[in-house]
């Protein structure tokens, strides 16, 4: 088993101070790709996870090549950052403002990288990409950022994971241009304090004292923010929180993942524990445990996490 997380990535928040927030690693997509390849072996969804690994590899390549230029173009100014800190507003808000113009460059760079490895449906959709008016592409991006369900025709639906992946690259590049002190502090929210998006899942990390500390992982910018254990992230309820463990094959392949279920809002959010498996990745382990979502759903708890590689409106 190849180890891809170093000890710094496991225990030390970005910036070296414990602010309850962690900026993403510069190798976040490479780490996800490695984890996805590891989880794909012998998995019932091996082909899907292997493609997801290719897409994450392509995300890392585009981030490595273009990330710095994207950061330069879209870093918020000091006045905006100060205003956001003062009022507790996410400085890279993905819900309200327009999608930065350079996003289309990220999308095309990612499409070029991934097209040789794509399933036929995505290859055909990518072939139509040059004919899409920029306005329509931006409307699709905004719909995905706002988690709107009506994406339009089948080609647009086929492109959705690629668009989601390209938005992740851009927002991660933008987050990497921030300091931990740029992110509003002092609240424990249901949404990412950096960009206002939903979490994909949560992760139990190990702090320097050897204690488990829980963070929610952003579905878009890959920042993490500290959340309380045994407390529902979407609605903050603390009563009668319970946990579902994977059954069947998933119990062997992903023993470190559980679904936290909340009887107040009837939702569930996964927790991937580094205490059980130090190599877990919230995003990758979420994709590999979709059977656990079905278990939770059958028990009456709807999936709260959002994964931009999954599109089933």
Residues that bind Zn ion in the complex, under the rule CB under 5 A: 192, 194-195, 197, 218, 220-221, 223, 232, 235, 237, 262, 264-265
Cα–Cα distance for residue pair 150/128, rounded to 1 Å? 20
Q: How far is the CB of 285 from Zn ion (least distance, A)?
A: 18
Q: How far is the CB of 262 from Zn ion (least distance, A)?
A: 3
Cα–Cα distance for residue pair 148/203, rounded to 1 Å? 26
What is the CA angle 86-8-92, rounded to 5? 30
94/253 with CB nearer Zn ion: 94
59/197 with CB nearer Zn ion: 197
Burial of residue 228, with CB atoms counted within 10 A of its CB: 0-12 exposed, 13-18 middle, 19 or more buried: exposed
CB 223 within 8 A of CB 198: no
Q: How far is the CB of 193 from Zn ion (least distance, A)?
A: 8
Distances from the Cα of 298 to the Cαs of 232, 291, 295, in angstroms? 19, 11, 5
151/192 with CB nearer Zn ion: 192
62/216 with CB nearer Zn ion: 216
123/190 with CB nearer Zn ion: 190
Q: Are strands 224-226 and 21-22 parallel, antiparallel or unpaired?
A: antiparallel
Q: How far is the CB of 175 from Zn ion (least distance, A)?
A: 7
Cα–Cα distance for residue pair 61/169, rounded to 1 Å? 10
Q: How far is the CB of 108 from Zn ion (least distance, A)?
A: 23
Q: How far is the CB of 218 from Zn ion (least distance, A)?
A: 3
Q: How far is the CB of 215 from Zn ion (least distance, A)?
A: 12
CB 165 within 8 A of CB 110: yes
129/170 with CB nearer Zn ion: 170
User: Whose CA is closest to 84, among 16, 202, 178?
Assistant: 178
Q: How far is the CB of 153 from Zn ion (least distance, A)?
A: 29
| Cα dihedral 151, 152, 157, 159 sign | negative
46/240 with CB nearer Zn ion: 240
126/178 with CB nearer Zn ion: 178
């Amino acid at each position: 088993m190849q180890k891809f997380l170093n000890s710094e990535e496991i225990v030390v928040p970005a910036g070296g101070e414990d602010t309850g927030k962690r900026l993403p690693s510069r190798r976040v997509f490479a780490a996800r790709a490695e984890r996805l390849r590891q989880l794909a072996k012998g998995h019932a969804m091996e082909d899907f996870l292997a493609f997801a690994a290719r897409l994450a590899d392509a995300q890392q390549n585009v981030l490595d090549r273009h990330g710095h230029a994207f950061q330069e173009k879209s870093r918020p100014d000091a006045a905006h950052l100060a205003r956001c800190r003062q009022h507790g507003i996410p400085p890279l808000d993905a819900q309200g403002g327009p999608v930065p113009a350079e996003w289309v460059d990220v999308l095309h760079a990612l499409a070029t990288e991934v097209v040789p490895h794509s399933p036929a449906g995505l290859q055909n959709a990518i072939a139509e990409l040059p004919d899409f008016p920029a306005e329509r592409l931006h409307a699709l991006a905004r719909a995905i950022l706002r988690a709107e369900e009506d994406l339009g025709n089948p080609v647009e639906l086929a492109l959705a994971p690629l668009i989601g992946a390209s938005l992740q690259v851009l927002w991660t590049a933008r987050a990497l241009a921030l300091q931990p002190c740029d992110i509003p502090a002092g609240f424990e929210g249901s949404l990412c304090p950096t960009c206002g998006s939903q979490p994909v899942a949560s992760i139990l990390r190990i702090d320097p004292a050897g204690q488990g500390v829980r963070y929610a992982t952003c579905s878009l910018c890959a920042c993490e923010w500290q959340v309380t254990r045994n407390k529902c992230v979407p609605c903050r309820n603390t009563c009668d929180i319970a946990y579902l463990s994977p059954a069947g094959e998933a119990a062997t392949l992903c023993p470190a993942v559980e679904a936290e279920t909340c009887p107040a809002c009837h939702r569930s959010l996964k927790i991937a524990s580094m205490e059980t498996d130090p190599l877990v990745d919230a995003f990758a382990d979420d994709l590999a445990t979709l059977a656990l979502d079905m278990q939770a759903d059958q028990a009456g708890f709807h999936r709260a996490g959002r994964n931009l590689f999954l599109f089933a409106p």
